[in-house]
C-alpha cells in the first residue's frame, strides 16, 4: 500500500514579513541591539582595546565589545570599545518602529553581475564630516523601477549584500539619512531579489553612537519607496540622536 506524503503548506509572504518585523523588534531591544549602544570610544593611535578591563566597574547591565576601523587621515588601523547597556534610556523609551503596510508590488527581481577583483566604492559616512570610506562592492545590481533604469551598488557585509538607498520619503516619512536593505540571492547566480518591505532604519537611527554609510548617488531612487520601516517611535519626547 503506497502512502503519499502531504504537500507542504504554501508560504504566505505576508506572514513571513510579519515574522521578520517581530524579529527586528527582538533584535533592536536585545542587550547588544542597536538601542543598547550608549558609547563608542575610539582609543589613541597605537593603543589596543581591552574589553575586559573596560568592563571593570560598569553596572551589571553593561557589556563591552571591541571594534576597529581605518583612520581616514593616516590610513592606520584605529581600535575602539563599544559599551552596550541592557537598561539604556533608548530601550526604556522605545515604542516600536513605524512601518508601511506590506505591499507585494515592492518585491522586485533584479539582475546581478559579479565584478572580478576587490572593487571598492567610496561611501560617505554620517559621522565623518563629509569624509568617505571605501567599501567592497562585489557586483552590480541592475533593474528598472517606474520606467527608469538603475545600477545599484550593494557592499559586502560579512558575506551578505547590503544596499544603502535613498528616496524622496527620507526626512519626511522615513529616516532622513536613508535606509538599508539586505539583498536576497536566488538559485540563479545572475538574479537577486530586493524585497523593500524589509527595508530597515539603519543603526544610527536608534543610537547616535553608530557611523552609518550614506546612500551614494547611484542608489537614490526618483520615486517614493513606500515600503519597509519608516522611523523608530519613542515616548515622552525621547530622541535617539543628540
pLDDT digits (tens, 9 = 90+) for 108-140: 999 999 998 879 999 999 989 888 999 999 999
In a domain, 16, yes or no: no
Q: Which of 70, 93, 116 is the last residue of a domain?
A: 93
The pLDDT of residue 242 is above 50: no
* Structural contact between residues 195 and 163, judged by C-beta atoms closer than 8 angstroms: no
Q: Which residues contact 113 (CB under 8 A, 6 or more apart)?
A: 139, 140, 142, 190
Segment 211-227 shows an average pLDDT of 97
Handedness of CA 160, 165, 170, 171 (dihedral sign): positive
Looking at residue 145, its pLDDT comes to 96
How many beta carbons lie within 10 A of that of residue 139, not counting itself? Answer: 21
* Structural contact between residues 20 and 198, judged by C-beta atoms closer than 8 angstroms: yes
113, 229: one domain: yes
In a domain, 142, yes or no: yes
- Structural domain including 84 reads 30-93
Helix (H) or strand (E) segment spanning residue 187: none
The pLDDT of residue 18 is above 80: yes
List, for residues 158-203, the tens digit of each pLDDT value.
Answer: 999 999 999 999 999 999 999 999 999 999 999 999 999 999 999 9
In a domain, 128, yes or no: yes
Smallest Cα–Cα separation from 77: which of 49, 45, 54, 50?
45
In a domain, 83, yes or no: yes
* Structural contact between residues 118 and 139, judged by C-beta atoms closer than 8 angstroms: no
pTM of the predicted model as reported, rounded to 2 decimal places: 0.93
220, 110: one domain: yes
* Greater model confidence, 73 or 98: 98
210, 229: one domain: yes
116, 181: one domain: yes
Q: Would you give the end-to-end CA distance of the chain in angstroms?
A: 71
Smallest Cα–Cα separation from 226: which of 106, 98, 104, 96?
106
Handedness of CA 7, 192, 223, 100 (dihedral sign): positive
The pLDDT of residue 213 is above 50: yes
43, 127: one domain: no
Under the banding of pLDDT at 50, 70 and 90, the label for residue 241 is: low
Domain count, the chain: 2
List, for residues 34-88, the tens digit of each pLDDT value.
Answer: 999 999 999 999 999 999 999 999 999 999 999 999 988 888 999 999 999 999 9
209, 158: one domain: yes
112, 83: one domain: no
Q: Which of 50, 74, 93 is the last residue of a domain?
A: 93
Number of separate helices (H) and strands (E) present in the chain: 3, 13
86, 109: one domain: no
If you compute the radius of gyration of the chain from its CA atoms, what whole number of angstroms results?
20
Looking at residue 55, its pLDDT comes to 97
Amino acid at each position: 500500500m503506497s502512502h503519499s506524503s502531504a504537500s507542504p503548506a504554501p508560504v504566505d509572504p505576508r506572514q513571513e514579513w510579519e515574522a521578520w518585523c517581530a524579529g527586528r523588534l527582538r533584535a533592536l531591544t536585545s542587550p547588544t541591539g542597536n538601542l543598547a549602544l550608549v558609547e563608542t570610544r575610539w582609543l589613541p593611535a597605537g593603543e589596543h582595546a581591552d574589553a575586559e578591563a573596560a568592563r571593570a566597574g560598569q553596572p551589571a547591565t553593561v557589556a563591552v565589545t571591541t571594534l576597529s576601523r581605518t583612520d581616514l587621515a593616516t590610513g592606520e588601523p584605529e581600535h575602539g570599545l563599544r559599551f552596550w547597556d541592557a537598561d539604556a534610556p533608548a530601550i526604556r523609551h522605545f515604542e516600536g518602529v513605524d512601518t508601511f503596510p506590506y505591499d507585494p508590488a515592492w518585491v522586485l527581481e533584479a539582475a546581478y553581475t559579479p565584478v572580478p577583483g576587490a572593487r571598492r566604492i567610496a561611501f560617505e559616512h554620517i559621522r565623518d564630516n563629509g569624509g568617505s570610506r571605501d567599501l567592497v562592492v562585489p557586483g552590480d545590481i541592475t533593474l528598472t523601477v517606474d520606467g527608469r533604469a538603475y545600477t545599484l551598488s550593494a557592499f559586502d557585509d560579512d558575506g551578505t549584500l547590503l544596499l544603502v538607498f535613498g528616496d524622496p520619503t527620507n526626512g519626511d516619512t522615513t529616516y532622513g539619512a536613508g535606509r538599508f536593505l539586505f539583498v536576497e540571492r536566488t538559485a540563479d547566480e545572475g538574479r537577486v531579489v530586493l524585497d523593500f518591505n524589509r527595508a530597515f532604519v539603519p543603526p544610527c537611527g536608534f543610537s547616535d553612537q553608530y557611523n552609518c554609510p550614506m546612500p551614494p548617488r547611484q542608489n537614490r531612487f526618483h520615486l517614493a519607496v513606500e515600503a519597509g520601516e519608516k522611523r523608530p517611535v519613542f515616548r515622552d519626547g525621547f530622541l535617539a540622536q543628540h
